[in-house]
Amino acid sequence: MPTEILMPALSPTMEEGTLAKWLVEEGDSVAAGDILAEIETDKATMEFEAVDEGTIGKILVEAGSEGVKVNTPIAVLLEEGESADDIETAAAKPEAGTADAGAEEAPKPQAERAAEAPAAAKAAQPAAYAPEPDWPEGTEMKSMTVREALREALAEEMRRDDAVFLMGEEVGEYEGAYKISQGLLDEFGARRVVDTPISEIGFTGLGVGAAWGGLRPVVEFMTFNFSMQAVDHIVNSAAKTLYMSGGQLPCPIVFRGPNGAAARVAAQHSQCYAAWYSHIPGLKVAMPYSASDAKGLLKSAIRDNNPVIFLENEILYGRSFEVPDIDDFTIPFGKARLWREGKDVTIVSFGIGMTYALEAADKLAEEGIEAEVLDLRTLRPMDTGAIIASVQKTNRLVTVEEGFPQNSVGNHITSVVMEQAFDWLDAPVINLCGKDVPMPYAANLEKLALVTTDEVVEAVKKVTYR
């Protein structure tokens, strides 16, 4: 049967075009790849090639025709043994284009689904937020710095699973720029504690490839500021491939290192990436405050089959906390920790922001204001249920973080609370953040740029109208 040659779409956006010129005539024989015509698209003039061999039986659309719709038959190609007489019998109707979408109702986006809940919720009494404890009562505790907790987590996971290895700048012989990996080279050798050259995009991509190849890499960034060199592999290679592969290719990898401001290292070394990375579907993001969470979350991160961004803090490395003396202690992702119960206001924070939140809560208690303090611990998944439950109790919310204010984590929390607990709020939510400036070097200015305990106290007084 004669084959119709259809007006081609020659760009992602083309719907019609001009058939500028025919380069063949009726009766010409053509082979696959021969140029048939020149077609002007919305972008440029393109050559249009034959796909099949045959003879041009009839030209249906004259050269110079404008506004020829894509998929309109423009000529008829005869195969061996066919003649122009066969053309009449060929179906004249062009192929349908893309299958019709849009008719069916798309699934509701997440926000819309979540929004269905609160109307009913207001009527009912809120369930008291009573999270399961992270370890059983009576567990023996030991004092440990965040640094030691991270090191223990790494060492325990490396002992447990040969596929786990650590790579990064100065992690091996130097024992870590911040001494997180002290002793690991001695115990595990150079096969599993891999010193890299200063090549962030290269070793990050290499780590992702190794994860696809069946390993469980822990990639250390000397600071997360340097991960900007590698952000393409974190977002485009690590986070998106499971989806793009239809679920075939998980990427079990942990990217970890100090994040946010340290002290006097100025703008290029003092930025919090919590909001940046928690923006990305496909990534998980943890940002521990205490040593027990640092240990329990890092162990969970290494066992997770997804890419995890693990944001540590240089100032917290040296702080000591009580850590449960339990074999194989882990903390699940997506579960906030209730540090302090209170009825007057909810303070939500994470990472070093918890320092200010807890100090402020102490000060406020002296003035008779009982603040409930929640540590999110992981930002993606985020325990929004805990936030909502607490806000339903206190009716007031202050968020505390060190990152920049525009599009901050606090902004997102506020939006969730507006959608799910608007009627429970007795005051506008305040998002405390670092100031909207690059981090200055001068000691006095640096202090001004960071969020402070006093600012938290002031914000709580504002939302409690004291």
CA gap 228, 111 in Å, rounded: 30
Alpha-carbon distance 78 to 367, whole Å?
Answer: 92
* C-beta separation of 427 from 465 below 8 A: yes
CB neighbour list of residue 162: distance below 8 Å, 6 or more residues apart: 192
Binding-site member from 1, 29, 35, 454 for other proteins (CB under 8 A): 35
Nearer to other proteins, 3 or 452 (CB): 3
- The stretch among 3-11, 118-126, 385-393, 425-433 that binds other proteins (CB under 8 A) is 3-11
14 versus 267: smaller Cβ distance to other proteins: 14
Q: Does 114 bind other proteins (CB under 8 A)?
A: no
Q: What does the alpha-carbon distance between residue 373 and residue 366 come to, in Å, rounded to a whole number?
A: 16
**Residue 279 among the catalytic residues:** no
User: Which is nearer to other proteins, 72 or 411 (by Cβ)?
Assistant: 72
Q: Tell which residue, 260, 223, 258, 263, has the closest CA to residue 447.
A: 263
- Which residues ranging from 84 to 113 are in contact with other proteins (CB under 8 A)? 95, 97-99, 101, 104-107
Residue 71 binds to other proteins (criterion: CB under 8 A):
yes
If you count them, how many residues does the chain have? Answer: 466
Rule CB under 8 A: is residue 199 a binding residue for other proteins? yes
Residue 16 found at the interface with other proteins (CB under 8 A): no
215 near other proteins, judged by CB under 8 A: yes
Q: Which stretch binds other proteins (CB under 8 A): 175-183, 232-240, 341-349, 429-437?
A: 232-240
Selected catalytic residue, list 82, 200, 314, 372:
200
Positions in 173-192 near other proteins (CB under 8 A): 191
Distance CA 156, CA 159 (A): 5
Long-range contacts of 266-272 (CB under 8 A, 24+ apart): 266/439, 266/440, 266/441, 267/438, 267/439, 267/440, 267/441, 268/225, 269/223, 269/225, 270/225, 270/439, 271/224, 271/225, 271/403, 271/404, 271/439, 272/311, 272/351, 272/401, 272/402, 272/403, 272/404, 272/434
Q: Which 398-457 positions form the footprint of other proteins (CB under 8 A)?
A: none
Q: Which is nearer to other proteins, 81 or 197 (CB)?
A: 197
Asked if 79 is part of the footprint of other proteins (rule: CB under 8 A), the reply reads no
For residue 269, indicate whether it is catalytic. Answer: yes
- CA–CA distance, 258 with 162 (Å, rounded to integer): 25
Residue 205 or 258: the one with the smaller Cβ distance to other proteins is 205
Interactions with other proteins, residue window 154-173 (CB under 8 A) = 165
Residue 201 to residues 87, 167, 198, 205, 257, Cα–Cα distance (Å): 59, 13, 9, 6, 15
What x-and-dash track marks residues 240-279 binding other proteins by CB under 8 A? -xxxxxxxxxxxx---------------------------
Residue closer to other proteins by CB (options 184, 358) is 184
Report the Cα–Cα distance between both ends of the chain, in Å, rounded. 86
Q: Which is nearer to other proteins, 172 or 353 (CB)?
A: 172
Question: Minimum Å distance from CB 196 to other proteins?
Answer: 7
Encoded tokens for 337:
């920790």
Question: Contacting other proteins (CB under 8 A), which of 29, 305, 407, 415?
Answer: 305
Asked if the peptide bond before residue 381 counts as cis, ω within 30 degrees of 0, the response is yes
282 binds other proteins (CB under 8 A): yes
210 binds other proteins (CB under 8 A): yes
Site residue total, other proteins (CB under 8 A): 73
Residue 175 has which token pair? 């024992």
81 CB-contact burial (10 Å; exposed 0-12 / middle 13-18 / buried 19+): exposed
Closest distance between other proteins and the C-beta of residue 14, in Å? 8
User: Which member of 220, 269, 314, 412 is catalytic?
Assistant: 269
Counting contacts by CB under 8 A, is residue 231 touching other proteins?
no
The residues that are catalytic are 200, 269
